[in-house]
Amino acid sequence: MDDQILSQAKKRAERYWYEDGIWEIGFGLANILLSAFYTLSTSLQARGASMWLMLALQTGVIVGIFWLMGWLVKWLKAKITYPRTGYVAYRKLAPSKRARRVVQMMLVSGGVAALVGAVASMQTYANFTPIVIGMIFAAMLAYLGHRFDLLRLYALIPLVLALALVLAVLGGDETTALILFFGGFGILFSLSGGLALLLYLRRTSAAGTPGDYEPPAGNE
């Protein structure tokens, strides 16, 4: 049996997760909340709040925001997607593969953090940090767009890069630029997800009594 058929079946199942735009709305909202938190955190630090306290709070808030958004995405999918086009539970990675994935993610995150730190420490005429972050986000969008055949993610790339460029040219301090970038990206991503959801709702309908399995006569 052709491996291509199997990988296509896998790709279709994975793409299904992104089809309704709900994940984008959740991730976009998480970015908006992060931006709001950093605004608050900057203002608290300016008023003399301890840096260690803010660091501890930051870890808790980031984990909390992504946990909350994960819950929201699952809840929305259960309410909107599953009654319309069905439910899929994805296969979990084997423990060895999961460990490898965690190590890879840690290496990538460390590399990104080092890169951003190095760029931020450079004394230049423009603020390059939003450009670096923008390119990382653009690369992530290109990867997701390619992997799941999602054209709308490609359309977001020039917008994300334009946002990064504008913030770099505007200059200003590092933190404000990042707060604006995450906020802007969150709005763009949520809007894209909202549009995808609208189109999904238009082409699907909630099955009142979904076609359910009925054992053929004499088979029970």
Partner 1 sequence: MTGDLRKFTDLDRVIHEPARMMIVTILYQVEQVDFLYLLRETGLTKGNLSAHLAKLEAAQYVQIEKTYRGKIPQTLLALTPTGRAAFEQYREQLTLIANTLPEKRL
Q: Which residues of this chain interact with partner 1, rule CB under 8 A?
A: 1, 5-6, 9-10, 12-13, 16, 78, 82-83, 85-92, 207, 209-216, 219
**29 with 198: CB under 8 angstroms?**
no
Cβ nearer to partner 1, comparing 19 with 24: 19
**183 with 35: CB under 8 angstroms?**
yes
Q: Which of 69, 107, 62 is CA-nearest to residue 189? A: 69
Cα(157)–Cα(161) distance, integer angstroms: 6
CB of 150 to partner 1, least distance (A): 18
Number of Cβ within a 10 Å radius of residue 164 = 26
**Sequence-separated (6 or more) residues with CB below 8 Å from residue 155:** 192
CB of 212 to partner 1, least distance (A): 5
Q: Which of 159, 134, 179, 153 is CA-nearest to residue 32? A: 179
Q: Which of 57, 23, 24 is CA-nearest to residue 38? A: 57
CB of 86 to partner 1, least distance (A): 3
CB of 4 to partner 1, least distance (A): 12
Cβ nearer to partner 1, comparing 59 with 209: 209
Cβ nearer to partner 1, comparing 16 with 128: 16
**23 with 17: CB under 8 angstroms?**
yes
CB of 182 to partner 1, least distance (A): 33
**Sequence-separated (6 or more) residues with CB below 8 Å from residue 190:** 24, 25, 28, 29, 32
Cβ nearer to partner 1, comparing 47 with 91: 91
CB of 80 to partner 1, least distance (A): 13
Cβ nearer to partner 1, comparing 47 with 203: 203
Cβ nearer to partner 1, comparing 16 with 66: 16
